[in-house]
Structure 1
């Protein structure tokens, strides 16, 4: 049974406004099955007093809904390096599990540790599952990770090495998510969903707090972010809104979202002026967000999400920032990976998408791209996607 531990923050449905106690461990809105947001107000982070704090994302304690973690692995505080006169890269592949997903996974594991479930489950195409497995190991939590049958062997090995059980699901990312959600309602289960649980977003927002600190209380003109389920983009939107509301930045940067052209449902909806995902081409009317879009293959497997549950939030966040969506081809992904490797940075194909996009379509002013996952996880992008 889940412990009856009280946590002051509350979940609020992002679609219909229904509320729930975080201690209930309900993984989605019981009324409409929408993903949760968090009823939490961040306090201002004192830039001048950060120097003596822990060298991890927990240094921004005023902005986080959990404090005093026991399962931290020192995640965060990744380097910011210049690639050109106007574009810098945040090296988030230098996290403990070699991807940016550690930012959110540590929040989920810390929350689960306090709720004391019988088991934790997660679903992932690789990086999120690896991160959840590692932090559950750190927290002493039983963990099962659902993965698509075609997940890269290196990622499977990494998940297993942390002691998590693997459940391979026939089909792609959508089938894997459905299998995990079917198991999420079992008694004593905490669903460590990087998509549905907003604690993950409050972890990823530290990416922007770090940029703000590294740039001396400023932010770049543009934040270029890869988008599949949108967890880094929505975290960035949270952080920029908080920093602006507290008067800590004079303006909010534009959010430029990047998708692989082969799987770009959000980019297509954005450029069509839609507030939700578009229907498949054969449908005469827009389909509800629960209708899966056709799936094609792409080297950028981490953002190959045909039906992101937070689609409306992602589209709204990009529009409100004055940003846009860009797409990249498979050849551009390959070229970008080799280009970064020639600069000393070996990054997996998903992680190079933003560099590919900003190289093909430069933005005015300064920009930062995240290099999200290490190249050792998947190797070079050699095979041609269809």
Structure 2
């Protein structure tokens, strides 16, 4: 039976339990799950969603699916392509992980589902809980985009607007998550979410005919897309389905870049007192990501690095993409803002959220 395990202290728990974190050290869970090889030639004729990679997923036969995944890959320059992950049911890549959480919750039948988010993850959880017939409550910071708040409400979720920042919002949700009968649909603490986001790389591998670009570039706040990508790279490499080892490049806003600071200082974990300032990239403005050590380790393991982008670079990147026909929210353009750094090698950047969610950056 698949179980949760704590990468820090080694504790275990059944995935049928509603225990949302390690009871001993309060750290995030990992999942004891061994993916089977996905054969390229076996994919023809399968369902046109992320569930086509069934051998690699810890759940199968979903009732909560909205057809998520299989987003287009388009060329931006001779060497850089973009994966349009804003073309998902709720207009952000968070659908990849949210469907896994909602499907798990549907099978467990909790009394209540809760989530916390700066907007996109909460929207995705609200939508997929609606699809699964589950009521949910979403905690968001008071500064969350009005359009994202409206989207969460439209899916029927109860909204808890928390005075303060993203960390205070997470703390409020985690307190509520300790109540009996609650399923915490956490995109940070629950590893099923990461097994959803890893399908981003499986799709790249399929679309590129069984190979990958020289660099996979992802924006990082809590690191859910990066850790999912690292999981997929490990699985593909272990199964002999890729020969090369793509560099895993992480991008943060300069205003909130605790992981970049730790990485370039050679640290295994976060440094004390990393400064945080307001940023247009609200979705990655995470001062203390709970999976920091795992994120740093993954970037080093895959020969990558951390890059940071300024607010002016974010504004310019959003306008540049819009001029190319792609209106992307300010968080989702962070990787394109850093694009000049790796023009000497092939790379793919994710465009993670639709511009309609936040509007054009001022």
Query: What residue number does 1:39 align with?
Result: 32
Deviations 1:213-246 (A, max 9, x none): 0000000000000000000000000000000000
Gaps of 5+ in 1: 1-7, 281-292
SS in 2 for 1:252: coil
> Matches of 1:253 and 1:125 in 2, distance apart?
30
Equivalent residue for 2:325, pick from 334, 344, 353: 344
Query: Is 1:124 the equivalent of 2:117?
Result: yes
For 1:14, the equivalent position in structure 2 comes to 7
Give the Å deviation of 1:318.
0.2
Cα deviation, 1:26-53, whole Å, max 9, x if unaligned, reads: 1000010110000000000011010110
Match of 2:293 among 312, 319, 324: 312
Q: Structure 1 CA distance, aligned partners of 2:222 and 2:232?
A: 18
Indicate yes or no: 2:123 matched with 1:142.
no
Q: Distance in 1 between matches of 2:45 and 2:259?
A: 41
Q: Does 1:357 align with 2:338?
A: yes
Question: In structure 2, what is the equivalent of residue 4 of structure 1?
Answer: none
RMSD (Å), alpha carbons: 0.7
Determine the structure 1 residue equivalent to 2:94. Answer: 101
Correspondence list, 1:58-207, <5 A: 58-207=51-200
Cα shift at 1:252: 2.1
Between the two proteins, the alignment pairs up a number of residues equal to 362
Counterpart residue number, 2:356: 376
How much has 1:294 moved relative to structure 2? Answer: 4.2
Unmatched 5+ residue regions in structure 2?
none
Partner of 2:281: 300
Q: In 2, Cα distance between the equivalents of 1:252 and 1:99?
A: 27
Contact 1:92–1:98, Cα closer than 8 Å, also in 2? yes
Kept after mapping to 1: 8 A contact 2:257/2:276: no
Mapped contact 1:241–1:252 kept (Cα < 8 A): no
- The answer as to whether partners of 2:215 and 2:347 remain within 8 angstroms in 1 is yes
Task: Report Cα offsets for 1:99-156 as digits up to 9, x if no partner.
Answer: 0000000000000000000110000000000000000000000100000001000000
Asked whether 1:327 is paired with 2:327, we answer no
CA shift, 1:165, in A, is: 0.4
Q: 2 CA distance for matches of 1:64 and 1:371? A: 23
- Runs of 4+ displaced beyond 3 Å: none
Q: Distance in 2 between matches of 1:120 and 1:364?
A: 46
What's the TM-score once normalised by structure 2's chain length?
Answer: 0.99
2:79–2:343 CA contact under 8 A, matched in 1: no
Give the C-alpha shift of residue 363 in structure 1. Answer: 4.4
Deviation at 1:364, TM superposition (A): 3.0
Alpha carbons 2:317, 2:333 under 8 Å: kept: yes
